[in-house]
């Protein structure tokens, strides 16, 4: 079935993204994964090429382009070349941090942070998760106490994507009995980076622990209104979950396409694998499931652009497509046989790099609970 999501401008942009990735990312991504660190300079080049931060208004150095279809193009092209550590870092900027800065900052804060973000000179992170608080945001224990013209933060965060690389971190902390959001900058006194966590996948994308020990955050770094942090976090989850969904469907299709070609070329018992009915049935099932899921994702993008993507529909896409990705990549690895277990094959790297998709941004179980409660409420 022919997709109708994109127009000529999006396809022209695809050429730009493809050229950038082939020149600036593909030659280096294996080194980045091996070294467990992406060269931060690539983000300045990516921003200059328009690979991310398109939504930032022109007055702050961006393109002022909110159309999520451009973001989808980036997801698809990154999946095609299997540079997923780089892709997740870009998603963290575009689908998480940036929208807090666009939606909640005052004019002075916009002037301070958005130009650097638009230039790729500032990398952001979002710090919600704590050792005792994951999806349960009300369990956050990090505190912020006002002291003159500063807030004093104390607490610990964990599993923070880009926590080591980040120049600024949006931190959720308890102010009294409610949550507030703060932007903590790199050189803040009392702010410390913990160890870089050793993950099973996405090795180039750093994930870390963060510590706040009487961290002195200027009062001017309060994001939005005091005490409204929980509402801000909840209202931004649909964009985050759409980002996970977009990456998941793109990677599912890319790995499937590569696997289908492998099956056409791979000889077994004197004939291509695709001569076997079982192989054809496996490919047919995956192709059908991906196409059906793609239709939902494309419609979600249209709804998002129109301001109509609901938290419920975002949760549906997030759990279903991330679980589909898990099934598809597992089946694709099986079709590769022993070669699928070798990291030189994209399916092997994707197998470990994408496993987290059913966990971060809200686990499958939490997504189902959100949907189920809505159904029960009638």
CA–CA distance, 169 with 246 (Å, rounded to integer): 24
CA–CA distance, 204 with 173 (Å, rounded to integer): 28
Tell whether 240 and 371 lie within a shared domain: yes
Task: Indicate whether 2 belongs to any domain.
Answer: no
Tell whether 215 and 247 lie within a shared domain: no
Whole-number pLDDT of residue 172: 97
Polymer length of the chain: 378
User: Which of 65, 240, 247, 282 is flagged as catalytic?
Assistant: 240
Whole-number pLDDT of residue 15: 98
CATH number of residue 137's parent domain? 2.40.110.10
Whole-number pLDDT of residue 238: 94
Tell whether 326 and 236 lie within a shared domain: yes
Question: Contact, 140 vs 122, CB < 8 A?
Answer: no
Q: Which domain holds residue 193?
A: 124-227
Structure tokens at 4: 């109708």
How many domains are there within the chain? 3
Whole-number pLDDT of residue 136: 79
Whole-number pLDDT of residue 138: 83
Question: Contact, 193 vs 236, CB < 8 A?
Answer: no
* Helix, strand, or coil (residue 137): helix
Phi-psi region of 159 (alpha: psi -120 to 50; beta: other; left: phi over 0): left
Whole-number pLDDT of residue 87: 97
Tell whether 347 and 259 lie within a shared domain: yes
Query: Which residues, in sequence order, are bridge partners of residue 130?
Result: 133
Residue whose pair of structure tokens reads 């054809």 in the numeric block: 280
- CA distances from residue 80 to 2, 129, 249 in whole angstroms, order as listed: 19, 31, 11
Residue whose pair of structure tokens reads 């005052």 in the numeric block: 106
Residue whose pair of structure tokens reads 């002075």 in the numeric block: 108
Task: Indicate whether 1 belongs to any domain.
Answer: no
Domain final position from 227, 242, 270: 227
Q: CA-based angle 212:90:26, to the nearest 5? A: 125
CA–CA distance, 361 with 151 (Å, rounded to integer): 28
Tell whether 253 and 204 lie within a shared domain: no
Tell whether 178 and 257 lie within a shared domain: no
Whole-number pLDDT of residue 378: 87
Query: Which residues, in sequence order, are bridge partners of residue 122?
Result: none
Domain final position from 118, 140, 159: 118
Q: CA-based angle 217:361:368, to the nearest 5? A: 135
Tell whether 112 and 90 lie within a shared domain: yes
pTM, to two decimals: 0.96
- Helix, strand counts (H, E) of the chain: 12, 10
CATH number of residue 27's parent domain? 1.10.540.10
Structure tokens at 344: 């030189």
Tell whether 267 and 223 lie within a shared domain: no
Task: Indicate whether 217 belongs to any domain.
Answer: yes
261 an active-site residue?
A: no
Neighbours of 372 (CB within 10 A): 11
Tell whether 111 and 147 lie within a shared domain: no
CA–CA distance, 56 with 66 (Å, rounded to integer): 8
Look at strands 124-127 and 168-175 and give their pairing: parallel
Task: Indicate whether 61 belongs to any domain.
Answer: yes
CATH number of residue 360's parent domain? 1.20.140.10
Tell whether 197 and 310 lie within a shared domain: no
Tell whether 185 and 291 lie within a shared domain: no
Whole-number pLDDT of residue 1: 78
Domain final position from 95, 118, 141: 118
Tell whether 105 and 148 lie within a shared domain: no
- One digit per residue, the tens of pLDDT, for the chain of length 378 reads 789 999 999 999 999 999 999 999 999 999 999 999 999 999 999 999 999 999 999 999 999 999 999 999 999 999 999 999 999 999 999 999 999 999 999 999 999 999 999 999 999 999 999 998 777 788 899 999 999 999 999 999 999 999 999 999 999 999 999 999 999 999 999 999 999 999 999 999 999 999 999 999 999 999 999 999 999 999 999 999 999 999 999 999 999 999 999 999 999 999 999 999 999 999 999 999 999 999 999 999 999 999 999 999 999 999 999 999 999 999 999 999 999 999 999 999 999 999 999 999 999 999 999 999 999 998
């Amino acid at each position: 079935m022919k997709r109708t999501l994109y127009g000529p401008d999006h396809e022209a942009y695809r050429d730009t993204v493809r050229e950038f990735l082939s020149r600036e990312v593909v030659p280096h991504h294996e080194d980045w994964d091996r070294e467990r660190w992406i060269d931060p300079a690539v983000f300045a080049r990516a921003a200059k090429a328009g690979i991310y931060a398109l939504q930032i208004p022109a007055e702050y150095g961006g393109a002022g382009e909110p159309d999520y279809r451009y973001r989808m193009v980036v997801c698809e092209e990154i999946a095609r070349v299997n540079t997923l550590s780089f892709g997740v870092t870009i998603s963290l900027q575009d689908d998480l941090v940036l929208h807090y800065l666009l939606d909640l900052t005052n004019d002075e804060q916009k002037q301070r942070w958005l130009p650097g973000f638009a230039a790729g000179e500032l990398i952001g992170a979002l710090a919600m998760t704590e050792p005792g608080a994951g999806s349960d945001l009300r369990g956050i224990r990090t505190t912020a106490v006002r002291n003159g013209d500063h807030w004093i933060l104390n607490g610990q965060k964990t599993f923070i994507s880009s926590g080591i690389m980040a120049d600024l971190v949006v931190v959720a902390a308890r102010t009294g009995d409610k949550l507030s959001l703060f932007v903590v900058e790199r050189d803040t006194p009392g702010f410390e980076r913990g160890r870089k966590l050793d993950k099973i996948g996405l090795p180039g994308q750093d994930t870390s622990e963060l510590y706040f020990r009487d961290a002195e955050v200027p009062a001017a770094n309060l994001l939005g209104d005091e005490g409204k942090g929980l509402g801000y976090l909840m209202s931004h989850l649909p964009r985050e979950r759409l980002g996970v969904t977009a990456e998941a469907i793109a990677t599912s299709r890319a790995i499937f396409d590569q696997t289908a070609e492998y099956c056409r070329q791979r000889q077994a018992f004197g004939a291509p694998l695709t001569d076997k009915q079982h192989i054809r049935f496996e490919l047919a099932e995956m192709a059908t499931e991906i196409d059906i899921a793609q239709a939902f994702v494309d419609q979600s993008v249209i709804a998002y652009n129109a301001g109509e993507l609901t938290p419920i529909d975002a949760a549906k896409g997030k759990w279903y497509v991330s679980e589909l990705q898990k099934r598809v990549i597992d089946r694709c690895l099986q079709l590769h046989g022993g070669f699928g277990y070798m990291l030189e094959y994209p399916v092997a790297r994707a197998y470990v790099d994408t496993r987290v998709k059913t966990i971060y941004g809200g686990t499958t179980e939490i997504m189902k609970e959100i949907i189920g409660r809505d159904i029960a409420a009638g």
